[in-house]
């Protein structure tokens, strides 16, 4: 099968691009090294749809963040993913921080962001009673929002599959060749052929560029890790909007924010690492983000942490995103060095990449029978987000929705079965977790994961020993020893 477009990488950038192309009359494939969409930085970031004042005016970051902020909200509404317009504060501690706040305000205005203002201590404290008494000012950006970054990426991917996009998982690109204007991309066992290739490989995008045949590629990626804590929903109300401190040359810094599900997220720090796939947390790193959180909110109850994790940024050797058609290889588009505000920008970045494809010669006509929802029959909202009446009705209609499997997050058997039936079937613990939050509550899967695993095993005709947590090699259990 010859694809019109092969996208390498199923993070938010690659998936949003696939989704836009799925509305056109082109055959699209996405090759992803991991076992699911959104397994890289898309699943391990602050989950903020940035307002866009931070990015320097005139850059792609600025242009795409501002547009992405608007598009993300529309997309979440269209696909039934929650997005809360909570706003954000960049907090200043004393007069010394005012110049930076003013600089950000100026940038924001230049970038066209509405309703930005610098507010004083009284108003800040009225809006955020738990903020440090040392906080004197803030830049208030009412258009910043929070959502679930892997949630919207999964929704967009389902929408893409519903409209004919093929996803290839466990497809780590190892080699590439060309014959005429056809690209052959292989993982060693399987080869995909496409007329155009879009490199959205995140932290591996520079490596992929080299594999695709780029010589003297101008971008090198330095993987930079950031660690996070998630705090229990019981304390999720301690912050009403995202709380930043002034940015530095290392980035936006350690923040405290509510999450769209009602938890509190704290982090990230930022430091370079050697192995771009190493997503360990460290004692020093967790201590660092604890200290950072306490600066913003001295009484933050860090003993209410329910989990911690780390993500790895693709930091390029330039300020801006590198979004360009290849100089050397016709038909190749690169999206390299997409770090913050990569997620917030992604719906707009997708538009930009589609534009580059058109410039490169790809003819795009609209698909008349395009389906705007995740599945043919709608968006499939999970049971715990329905109203009381709808919940009762759903239980009557299908008793599987009356059986709770994950009690911390109120996930029903009906929801799990639904996800086994999804355009990208959820067949691992982590896939169910990312789609339904099963296992993300206070007990961290202690109660539900054997039950979720047993359900997946039963419905897919496998033994429990064949079910994985995430990728191959992440087995949960083995058969008992024969005598």
Partner 1 sequence: MAEHKLVIIGGGPAGLSAAVAAVDAGLAPEDILVLERDSEPGGILNQCIHAGFGLHRFGEELTGPEYSGRYIAMARERGIPILCNAMVLSLTDDRRVTFVSPETGYTTIQAEAVILAMGCRERTRGALSIPGTRPSGVYTAGCAQRYINIEGYMPGHRVVILGSGDIGLIMARRMTLEGAKVLAVCEIMPYSGGLARNIVQCLDDFGIPLKLSHTVVQIHGRDRVEGVTVAAVDEANGRRPIPGTEEYFACDTLLLSVGLIPENELTRGAGIDLDRMTNGASVNQFRETSAPGVYACGNVLHVHDLVDYVSEEADTAGRAAAARILGNAAPVVRSVKLTTGHGVRYTVPERIDLAEEPEDVRIFFRVSDVYKKVRLVIETGTGEILVNRAKSAVAPGEMESLTIPASKLAQVLRSGEEEILVKLTETEGR
Partner 2 sequence: MTTKELTCVVCPAGCRITVTLNDAGAIESIEGYTCQRGKTYAANEVTHPVRTLTSTVPVTTAQGKKMLPVRTDAGIPREKLFEAMKIVRATEAKAPVRTGDVLIADFIEPGTNLIACKDFD
Closest of 36, 37, 18 to residue 28, by C-alpha: 18
Q: Based on CB atoms, which residue is closest to partner 1, 193 or 395? A: 395
- The owner of tokens 């995103």 is 321
- Minimum distance of partner 1 from residue 313's CB (angstroms): 18
Counting contacts by CB under 8 A, is residue 179 touching partner 2?
no
Counting contacts by CB under 8 A, is residue 481 touching partner 2?
yes
Radius of gyration in angstroms for the set of CA atoms belonging to the chain, rounded to a whole number: 22
Coil, strand or helix: which one is 104?
helix
Q: Based on CB atoms, which residue is closest to partner 2, 389 or 480? A: 480
324 binds, among partner 1, partner 2, none (CB under 5 to 8 A by kind): none
- Minimum distance of partner 2 from residue 479's CB (angstroms): 11
Applying CB under 8 A, the span of 67-75, 240-248, 281-289, 353-361 interacting with partner 1 comes to 281-289
Is residue 183 among the annotated active site residues?
no
What is the distance of C-alpha 369 from the center of its chain? Answer: 28
CA 264/CA 282 separation, integer angstroms = 20
Counting contacts by CB under 8 A, is residue 388 touching partner 1?
yes
Applying CB under 8 A, the span of 138-146, 326-334, 371-379, 396-404 interacting with partner 1 comes to 396-404
- Residue from 125, 172, 240, 279 touching partner 1 (CB under 8 A): that is 279
Site map 441..480 versus partner 2, x via CB under 8 A: ---------------------------------------x
Closest of 203, 218, 220, 210 to residue 176, by C-alpha: 210
What does DSSP say about strands 305-316 and 88-92: parallel, antiparallel, or unpaired? unpaired
Residues in contact with partner 2, counted by CB under 8 A, come to a total of 4
262 binds, among partner 1, partner 2, none (CB under 5 to 8 A by kind): none
Task: Kindly tell me the sign of the dihedral angle through the C-alpha atoms of 115, 338, 12, 363.
Answer: positive
Counting contacts by CB under 8 A, is residue 442 touching partner 1?
yes
Contact 314, 12 (CB under 8 A): no
- Minimum distance of partner 2 from residue 483's CB (angstroms): 4
Applying CB under 8 A, the span of 7-15, 141-149, 153-161, 445-453 interacting with partner 1 comes to 445-453
- Residue from 159, 242, 257, 410 touching partner 1 (CB under 8 A): that is 410
Which residues, in sequence order, are CB contacts of 61 under 8 Å at separation 6+? 55, 319, 320, 321, 341, 345
φ/ψ region of 184 (left if φ > 0, alpha if ψ in -120 to 50, else beta) reads beta
- Minimum distance of partner 2 from residue 454's CB (angstroms): 11
Residues in contact with partner 1, counted by CB under 8 A, come to a total of 57
- Residue from 1, 126, 179, 483 touching partner 2 (CB under 8 A): that is 483
- The owner of tokens 């769209």 is 260
Applying CB under 8 A, the span of 18-26, 89-97, 102-110, 406-414 interacting with partner 1 comes to 406-414
- The owner of tokens 């005429």 is 180
Which residues, in sequence order, are CB contacts of 299 under 8 Å at separation 6+? 130
CA atoms within 13 A on the CB side of 449: 20
Q: Based on CB atoms, which residue is closest to partner 1, 123 or 385? A: 385
Which residues, in sequence order, are CB contacts of 212 under 8 Å at separation 6+? 176, 183, 197, 199, 326, 329, 332
Of residues 256-285, those binding partner 2 (CB under 8 A): none
Catalytic residue chosen out of the listed positions 50, 183, 204, 334? 50
Contact 337, 355 (CB under 8 A): no
CA 340/CA 252 separation, integer angstroms = 9
Name the site residues for partner 2 (rule: CB under 8 A).
Answer: 480-483
Name the site residues for partner 1 (rule: CB under 8 A).
Answer: 229-230, 234, 277-283, 285-286, 305-309, 388, 391-392, 395-396, 399-400, 402-404, 407, 410, 412-413, 429, 442-447, 449-450, 454, 464-465, 468-481
Q: Which residues are catalytically annotated?
A: 50
């Amino acid at each position: 099968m010859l694809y019109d477009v092969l996208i390498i990488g199923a993070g938010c950038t690659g998936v949003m691009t696939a989704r836009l192309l799925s509305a056109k009359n082109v055959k699209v494939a996405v090759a992803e090294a991991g076992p699911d969409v959104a397994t890289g930085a898309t699943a391990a970031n602050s989950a903020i749809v940035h307002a866009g004042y931070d990015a320097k005016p005139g850059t792609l970051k600025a242009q795409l963040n501002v547009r992405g902020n608007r598009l993300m909200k529309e997309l979440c509404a269209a696909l039934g993913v929650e997005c809360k317009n909570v706003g954000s504060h960049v907090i200043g501690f004393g007069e010394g921080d005012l110049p930076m706040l003013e600089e950000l305000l100026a940038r924001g205005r230049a970038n066209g962001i509405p309703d930005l203002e610098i507010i004083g201590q009284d108003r800040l404290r009225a809006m955020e009673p738990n903020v440090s008494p040392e906080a004197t000012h803030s830049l208030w950006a009412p258009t910043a929002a929070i959502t679930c970054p892997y949630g919207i990426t999964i929704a967009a991917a389902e929408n893409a599959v519903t409209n004919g996009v093929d996803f290839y998982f466990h497809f780590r690109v190892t080699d590439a060749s060309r014959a005429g204007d056809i690209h052959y991309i292989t993982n060693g066992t399987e080869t995909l052929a496409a007329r155009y290739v879009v490199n959205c490989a995140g932290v591996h995008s520079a490596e992929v560029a080299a594999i695709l045949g780029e010589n003297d590629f101008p971008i090198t990626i330095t993987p930079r890790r950031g660690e996070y804590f998630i705090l229990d929903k019981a304390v999720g109300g301690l912050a009403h909007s995202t709380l930043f401190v002034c940015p530095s040359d290392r980035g936006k810094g350690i923040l405290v924010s509510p999450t769209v599900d009602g938890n509190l997220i704290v982090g990230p720090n930022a430091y370079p690492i050697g192995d771009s796939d190493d997503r360990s947390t460290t004692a020093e790193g967790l201590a660092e983000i604890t200290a950072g959180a306490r600066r913003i909110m001295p009484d933050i109850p860090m003993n209410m942490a329910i989990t911690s994790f780390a993500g790895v940024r693709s930091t390029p050797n330039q300020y801006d995103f590198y979004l360009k058609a290849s100089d050397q290889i016709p038909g190749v588009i690169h999206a390299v060095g997409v770090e913050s505000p990569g997620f917030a920008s992604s719906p707009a970045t997708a538009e930009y990449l589609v534009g580059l494809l058109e410039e490169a010669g790809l003819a795009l006509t609209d698909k008349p029978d395009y389906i705007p929802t995740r599945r043919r029959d709608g968006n499939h909202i999970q049971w715990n987000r329905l109203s009381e009446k709808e919940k009762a009705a759903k239980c009557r209609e299908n008793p599987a929705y009356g059986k709770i499997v994950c009690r911390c997050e109120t996930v029903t058997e009906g929801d799990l079965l639904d996800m086994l039936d999804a355009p990208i079937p959820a067949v691992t613990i982590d896939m169910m977790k990312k789609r339904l939050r099963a296992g993300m509550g206070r007990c961290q899967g202690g109660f539900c994961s054997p039950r979720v695993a047993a359900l997946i095993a039963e419905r897919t005709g496998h033994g429990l020993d064949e079910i994985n947590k995430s990728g191959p090699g992440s087995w949960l259990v083995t058969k008992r020893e024969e005598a």
